[in-house]
Structure 1
Amino acid sequence: MTRVVSLFLPTWSTDRVRRGAGETAPPAEAPLVLIGHNGRRRVVVATDAAAHAAGLRVGMPATKAQALVPGLGIQDATPAADADALDRLALWIMQRYAPVVAADPPDGIVIDTTGADHLHGGEQAMLAGMIDRMAGSGIAARAAAADTLGAAHALARYAGRSIVISQPGAAEAAVVPLPIAALRLSPALIGNLRTLGFDRIGDLLAQPRAPLTLRFGPHLGRRIDQALGFAPELIEPIRSENLIEVRRSFPEPIGAAETIARYIGKLVVELCAALEEHGMGVLRLDLLCHRVDNIMQAIRVGTALPVRDVKRLTRLLCDKIETIEPGFGIEILALTATIAEPLADKQTVTSLIEDAVADVSDLVDTLANRVGEQRIYRVAPVASDVPERSICRVPAMSPETGATWSGDWPRPPRLLDRPELIETVSLLPDHPPVSFTWRGVRRRVKRADGPERLFGEWWKRDAELVAVRDYFRVEDDAGERYWIYRAGDGEDAATGSHRWFLHGVFG
């Protein structure tokens, strides 16, 4: 089932102005409005959150706004710059999240995420990630996911929550309580409907369609059908002139999996030839299938390293053919190198002395495209004495940095996400436990080595200024080995709680 995300940027114009001003931008709590012209009158065309909270509204005369808020920040509106920046943001989202993305001016972006959400941890995690990334860039955002563009657009703007997810098949129930303005109708039509007492979308759905069409024309019915999924609404994906793309049109629509696979192979050959001309390799590849019923299907695959190997790219794409629903047939196939990087030709050298280095990038690509690239990673060292801070996740094929862990003291291969509290019998201050109870099982300690004292990182948190941990490697009477520690030095209460924790297990 199709899933569409609408990303709503309620203060896009003023957020863009603040980002462009950099360090000279006014503080967030200072009201800011953008001024444009309505005929010969200067009126407010955009407000930030502070200006809206102060009572300023779009359409208000500029002189009135200045009188209501002394010291109001005023700048000229630049709609063309807003539209260009929105297109650039849409391109970035297309590269990061899904192949079918379009700007929804003046303050939104629409994304067809069908089959792509699992690569980002599910819809909830994907939408939360979008909003967090926008907030990190100083852009306010709300997002909604639904079966149709119309429903997602309405929920993002009128549901009143930062994240709204309409369950599959529940578009009608989701939009029924929303105001009629959520249907993307003209202001004049909205005014006429309200005059007749229609305030909510549910009020319109309860009426026969024929009288509404006779009085207000077909546009109202079309918007209702688009929101409920009875009428298709094409999302024309944004494209950059710099993208390398090949496409093929068919006089007769195709639909068989074998036929689609054959033309995928031909398109990959053409794309790799174009990539070679530019000296590039592909990192993210999108296949767009334009159906005859004005619906678009998309496949996205990625690679860990720049690639222009025909066999590998063809196999990665063909592995996802089963996700394509050709419907009444596909009339256009378009293959795009969404993300490409320089790739130098490599000379094959045969040596009888040096061992060949295994190339696992093909395996990494296969797994990442099946389960998501976030689930395929390596663990790398971080310069920190605190064990849980001494590791980080890096992409599976990221280059080696040369950093290593200190080999003075052995570390367990399995480190718990969080140290778990244990009950112990021990002598303070320097003796290991005689026994401990972990997860309801009592274990008697037969051997122990330690303590290894680790100090807190005072430059990160004041609470770690005097904090210490005393770690021990212990072995129980069953031969199992554990890594445990006491919070504190065993004497001074300021150094820790003196409670014991299990932090790792030795294999």
Structure 2
Amino acid sequence: MPSRRIIAIWFPYMGAERILRKTQHNPEEPIIIVAKKAQSEIITSISAVAQYKGLFVGQSLRDASAICTRLFVQTQNSYAETQFLKGICRWSSKFSPWVASEGNSGLIMDITGCSHLFGGENEMIAQILLAYDKLNLTAKIGCADTVGAAWALSRYSEKTLQNYRNGDAIEQEARATRSRSAKRSFKDISNNLKISKSNKYFVAPPGKIRQSISNFPVAALRLEIQTQNTLAQLGLRQIGDIINQPRASLNRRFGLSLLKRVDQALGNLPEPISPLQPELNFGVRISFPDPIGLKPDIIAGLDRILDRLCSNLKKKTLGAQKILLQAFRTDNTIGSIEVGLAQSSNSFKHIRDLIIIKLDDLDVQFGIDILRLEATRTEVLTKYKHVGHVLVGERNKSRTEKNKNPENLISKLGARIGLENIIRLHPAKSNIPEKTYTMLSAAWSEPAKKWQKPKSYRPVQLWTPEIINAPDKPNPLSEFKWRGKIWYITESYGPERISPEWWLDEPKWRSGVRDYWFVQCATGDRLWIYYAHGALMSSGWFCQGKFA
């Protein structure tokens, strides 16, 4: 069985070349794409001409303008770039059925069993590059046995060959060593690396992963920036330096993430490829002859496209969980609002009410040319639901008709404050007072069906224990000082002893075993106080709750 062969395709100028294809701008003029980060504009993509003039990704627009005065600047449209990459991914499936997008500017292609159809790996890669050239896209390709090695070859092979250091480097060797070193030509470098190189692609022979990537920088392992900086401080700047280190020490210092990337690159750990699956697209749009900006006009356009969206969802027996409304403005920018539903729905009125609540957040600026509405997340709605007793079904039906469904309320509240800010309490198995419940998102959880009755009374309000001034003795109190005043006790019930969970080190329970008391004060307040017997922390009296 032939070994697995992977191709990694990198588009170093994808963002700028997408704009170049769209605007037909002069390719001889530098093109940069910028995005706002904090208080400055940072370059996210550049053209080849801009790179030749000294610009780079991550540079601020202010510095780039100082280096090159004539720049064609465009604002980044991340959504358009993502859709553009998905289109390239689908188009590239004519070379191999197993193609997936990688990051924001790359593809991963499994060509196992496909290369012979094109006359071999080199011929196949040459045809892929020729096809991308016809699309006016610059591509760099790496081919190896693993995804990690192919990714490294596509992005770092050219730099490694250009910066390859041998014995002829004046600053590298001592004088005596330089005098005895043999002169090596550039052709010997590719033989040492065992990589067949060309201008835009690099192919590592099967079974030669270690030799192919050993001289690459550690960034070729797809590590985090912090890990790369730490490795550089330790003198581990190349992949070969990491491979030769003991795995136990690397694991203690950097965790499993570093070893995982090394194993994936060398083929010791599988790294599956998830090809781009055809998706059901529930999106509708409307174009206007003239830009609009008034809220009534936007609502009128929304009504026309929302009716079509709900009809499409009903045909597939689906309900929308998330709705995305996009407004394509006259200055080629996009404003958007997103609405989440607590319960999937394809009701026109329900979805319309939620979108109108957030419509004021939509910035129209100079006007809107196109409105687009998409159900980004959907769920199957069963046509028939078992409701049990007939009376129960009628009660649920009447509640829905009266719009008293709690899911509708959660959706409307979520449109204002966010679904993640609405919680629902569920019972938890614990004797610790503050751990008898757990908090879940109300939008994605069902109501609690049964709460276990506590063995004794519990307060309706719980707060963080507050120290009260009282004698440091476990005897019942007659009075105590708390929150700046003296409280006189008329009745006391207790104690109820609660021990901490010994298998956990809870900082709040380091005061040891607690004796809880229900006390009735002369003011009518009924409080829940306890005496902590002391452990790692000193003993004392505390107040933790209040009864109704």
Aligned partner (choices 317, 334, 356) of residue 318 of structure 1: 356
Whole-angstrom distance in 2 between the partners of 1:426 and 1:441: 18
> Are the structure 2 counterparts of residues 187 and 296 from structure 1 closer, same or farther at C-alpha, using a change threshold of 3 Å?
closer
Q: Which residue of 2 aligns with 1:412?
A: 459
Which letter maps to 1:242?
A: L
Aligned residues of 2:335 and 2:362 also touching (Cα < 8 A): yes
Q: Which residue of 1 aligns with 2:427?
A: 381
Aligned partner (choices 321, 329, 333) of residue 283 of structure 1: 321
Q: Which has the higher strand share?
A: 1
Question: Quick one: percent identity of the two aligned structures?
Answer: 27
Residues 73-92 of structure 1 correspond to what in structure 2 (within 5 A)? 79=8
> Are the structure 2 counterparts of residues 401 and 362 from structure 1 closer, same or farther at C-alpha, using a change threshold of 3 Å?
closer
Q: Which residue of 1 aligns with 2:108?
A: none
Structure 2's unaligned 5+ residue stretches are 17-32, 84-277
Whole-angstrom distance in 1 between the partners of 2:317 and 2:469: 62
Give the total of aligned pairs.
Answer: 319
* Greater Rg by CA: 2
Whole-angstrom distance in 1 between the partners of 2:300 and 2:379: 27
Q: Which residue of 2 aligns with 1:338?
A: 376
If asked which structure has higher relative contact order (CA below 8 Å, sep 6+), I would say 1
Whole-angstrom distance in 2 between the partners of 1:201 and 1:250: 34
> Are the structure 2 counterparts of residues 448 and 77 from structure 1 closer, same or farther at C-alpha, using a change threshold of 3 Å?
farther
Aligned residues of 1:444 and 1:477 also touching (Cα < 8 A): yes
User: Normalised by the size of structure 1, how large is the TM-score?
Assistant: 0.55
Which letter maps to 2:542?
A: F
Which secondary structure does the structure 1 equivalent of 2:486 belong to? strand
The Cα of 1:402 is off from its aligned counterpart by 3.5
Aligned partner (choices 434, 444, 448) of residue 478 of structure 2: 434
The Cα of 1:408 is off from its aligned counterpart by 1.8
Aligned partner (choices 266, 269, 280) of residue 242 of structure 1: 280
The Cα of 1:200 is off from its aligned counterpart by 8.0
The Cα of 1:254 is off from its aligned counterpart by 2.6
> Are the structure 2 counterparts of residues 466 and 290 from structure 1 closer, same or farther at C-alpha, using a change threshold of 3 Å?
closer
Q: Which residue of 2 aligns with 1:129?
A: none
Q: Which residue of 1 aligns with 2:543?
A: 502
Whole-angstrom distance in 2 between the partners of 1:373 and 1:77: 42
Whole-angstrom distance in 2 between the partners of 1:394 and 1:402: 14
Task: Say whether 1:400 aligns with 2:447.
Answer: yes
Which secondary structure does the structure 2 equivalent of 1:384 belong to? coil
Q: Which residue of 1 aligns with 2:504?
A: 460
Q: Which residue of 1 aligns with 2:490?
A: 446
Aligned residues of 1:246 and 1:271 also touching (Cα < 8 A): yes
Whole-angstrom distance in 1 between the partners of 2:6 and 2:468: 62
Structure 1's unaligned 5+ residue stretches are 1-74, 84-102, 106-147, 153-165, 176-181, 224-230
Whole-angstrom distance in 2 between the partners of 1:340 and 1:310: 15
Aligned residues of 2:40 and 2:60 also touching (Cα < 8 A): no
Whole-angstrom distance in 1 between the partners of 2:488 and 2:429: 34
Deviation digits for residues 22-42 of structure 1 (CA, Å, limit 9, x no counterpart)? xxxxxxxxxxxxxxxxxxxxx
Whole-angstrom distance in 2 between the partners of 1:373 and 1:190: 44
Residues 17-28 of structure 1 correspond to what in structure 2 (within 5 A)? none
Deviation digits for residues 166-213 of structure 1 (CA, Å, limit 9, x no counterpart)? 2xxx327xx7xxxxxx6755688567559xxxx9865666x5x9xx43
Q: Which residue of 1 aligns with 2:332?
A: 294
Task: Say whether 1:272 aligns with 2:310.
Answer: yes
The Cα of 1:454 is off from its aligned counterpart by 1.1
Aligned residues of 2:358 and 2:415 also touching (Cα < 8 A): no
Aligned residues of 2:339 and 2:355 also touching (Cα < 8 A): yes
Q: Which residue of 2 aligns with 1:222?
A: 72
Whole-angstrom distance in 1 between the partners of 2:407 and 2:6: 49
The Cα of 1:77 is off from its aligned counterpart by 7.8
Whole-angstrom distance in 2 between the partners of 1:380 and 1:455: 23
> Are the structure 2 counterparts of residues 438 and 466 from structure 1 closer, same or farther at C-alpha, using a change threshold of 3 Å?
closer
Aligned residues of 1:264 and 1:317 also touching (Cα < 8 A): no
Whole-angstrom distance in 1 between the partners of 2:393 and 2:414: 34
Which letter maps to 1:245?
A: G
Deviation digits for residues 299-347 of structure 1 (CA, Å, limit 9, x no counterpart)? 1111111111110101111222222232333222111111111112357
Q: Which residue of 1 aligns with 2:418?
A: 372
Residues 23-42 of structure 1 correspond to what in structure 2 (within 5 A)? none
> Are the structure 2 counterparts of residues 366 and 470 from structure 1 closer, same or farther at C-alpha, using a change threshold of 3 Å?
same
Aligned residues of 2:425 and 2:448 also touching (Cα < 8 A): no
Whole-angstrom distance in 2 between the partners of 1:363 and 1:462: 37
